[in-house]
Amino acid sequence: MMSLFFIYGAYLSGSRLGGIVTTLCFFFNHGESTRVMWTPPLRESFAYPFLVLQMLLLTYILRTRNPSRTALVALGISTLCFMLPWQFAQFVLLTQVNRERQETLLLLNFLLTLLFFCLPIHPSSSAYPGSGRGGSSFSREAQTSLSPATWASS
């Protein structure tokens, strides 16, 4: 993680000192930067390194006059790896929309977001427990007996 911050800071500033300052700023602001020390298994903790990699690749692509296909594929893979563990990733990616030369990048991010939303299992599939559609394993009688209207009558 720190190596990604160093590379990103050095690339943005054009010197190694920028990478060192970026890494030191993360260390000094660690309490405000992450919640990993209190709750390690958070989904955004697993997605965050891929976001930093995706931002580095996006910056590289925007600065390069003719980006290579390898850089675009790496951007797509890092975006996909960022979106898979965290359900709110698409809102973070929306902050990247207002950039120059955004047609290719926006289309790529849109397609990956669309793919990400098409991946969930449909509720009528056999992966959900229960009978029929809706995935409820309670019978109709059990569902109505649990409603607040039946509490008053008992």
Q: Which has more confidence, 90 or 127?
A: 90
Enumerate the domain spans of the chain. 34-120, 123-154
Q: Indicate yes or no: pTM above 0.85.
A: no
Using an 8 Å Cβ cutoff, are 16 and 3 in contact? Answer: no
Percent of the chain with pLDDT over 90: 16
Q: Dihedral of CA 32/36/39/43: which sign? A: positive
Residues in contact with 109: Cβ distance below 8 Å, sequence separation at least 6, in sequence order: 79, 93, 96
Length, in residues, of the chain = 154
102 or 68, greater pLDDT: 68
Q: What is the pLDDT of residue 148?
A: 56
Convert the pLDDT of each residue in 17-74 to its tens digit.
Answer: 988 998 888 888 877 776 666 766 677 778 888 988 998 998 898 889 898 999 999 9
CA-CA distance, 52 to 36, in Å (whole number)? 16
Lowest mean pLDDT among 41-45, 53-57, 86-90, 139-143: 139-143
